[in-house]
């Protein structure tokens, strides 16, 4: 498989100390200055750590304040958003940024009640089907093709129009190696393995890449594997992550994970320290 260069992003929960959108914009500007390659935001609507910022509004502001970094939601839970609205959010931020948007999508989690508090379905099978349909609808809108969809969850009629001026990559979050999830990811541009225990090893990365290859990703097609964790020396803790091993196994993005219960000043220090290079 064609190798992608290893890139480094900051992975930010937009709530608690990072719930001020102005602070998130400042972090993004500082990340660009410090040599990071991307800025990616969580997407939640309720949390115990208030305040909370909307990721799409904040991404629009980040797009205007930066020039180089890639940006996007990692990930937006598509089953609790209307896919055609997400398509327009994403295309707007893509055009604002000059084509720097990466759309991360997933089933979403109800850990804080993002679904159940608002009467949204929490059934994983239903959300999985909604995610599959939603990705298809989004891609049809971006491509500008005439499109008819009469699905279980969405009914869409589109006339032909101009396609998006910039290509918008889609990454799919995966908490398991379920074959259906792998097939979904293989139809997109990247995968974000996000198991419940949070630990990703080089063997895990190699296994994911092997699975998406067998699911149809051509050997000569660039494909992203984004891994989250903590490796910055600014944490002042022993670094236990094998970045070199992960990269050798096929990781293309290291996502330095900032946490909503860490002080804002510490998050700024981690960002200012720059990427923990291999």
The answer on pLDDT for 125 being more than 60 is yes
Proportion of the chain in helix, strand, coil states, percent, rounded to 5? 40, 20, 40
What integer pLDDT is reported at residue 262 of this predicted model?
85
What integer pLDDT is reported at residue 197 of this predicted model?
73
What integer pLDDT is reported at residue 200 of this predicted model?
93
CATH hierarchy code of domain 7-272: 3.20.20.30
What integer pLDDT is reported at residue 12 of this predicted model?
96
CA distance 16 to 30: 19
Predicted confidence (pLDDT) per residue in 75-110, tens digit: 999 999 999 999 999 999 999 999 999 999 999 999
Residue range 229-239: mean pLDDT, rounded: 90
Confidence grade of residue 3 (pLDDT, cut at 50, 70, 90): low
- Give 38-76 as a 3 state SS string: EEEECCCCCCCCCCECCHHHHHHHHHHHCCCCEEEECCE
What integer pLDDT is reported at residue 84 of this predicted model?
98
The pLDDT mean for the chain works out to: 95
């Amino acid at each position: 498989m064609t190798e992608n260069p290893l890139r480094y992003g900051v992975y930010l929960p937009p709530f608690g100390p990072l719930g001020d959108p102005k602070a998130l914009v400042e972090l993004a500007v500082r990340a660009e200055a410090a040599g990071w390659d991307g800025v990616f935001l969580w997407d939640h609507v309720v949390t115990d750590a208030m305040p909370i910022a909307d990721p799409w509004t904040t991404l629009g502001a980040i797009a205007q304040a930066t020039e180089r970094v890639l940006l996007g939601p990692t990930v937006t839970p598509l089953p609790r958003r209307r896919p055609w609205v997400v398509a327009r959010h994403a295309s707007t931020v893509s055009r604002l940024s000059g084509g720097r948007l990466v759309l991360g999508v997933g089933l979403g989690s109800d850990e804080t009640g993002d679904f159940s508090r608002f009467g949204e379905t929490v059934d994983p099978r239903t959300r999985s089907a909604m995610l599959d349909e939603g990705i298809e609808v989004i891609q049809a809108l971006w491509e500008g093709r005439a499109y008819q969809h009469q699905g279980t969850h969405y009914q869409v009629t589109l006339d032909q129009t101009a396609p998006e001026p910039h290509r918008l990559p889609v990454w799919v979050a995966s908490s398991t190696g379920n074959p259906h999830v792998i097939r979904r990811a293989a139809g997109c541009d990247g995968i974000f393995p996000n198991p419940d225990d949070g630990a990703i090893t080089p063997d895990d990365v190699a296994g994911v890449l092997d699975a998406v290859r067998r699911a149809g990703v051509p050997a000569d097609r660039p494909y992203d594997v984004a891994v989250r964790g903590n490796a910055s020396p600014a944490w002042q803790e022993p670094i236990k992550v094998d970045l070199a091993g992960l990269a050798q196994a096929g990781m293309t993005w290291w996502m330095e994970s900032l946490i909503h219960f860490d002080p804002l000043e510490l998050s700024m220090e981690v960002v200012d320290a720059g990427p923990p290079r291999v």
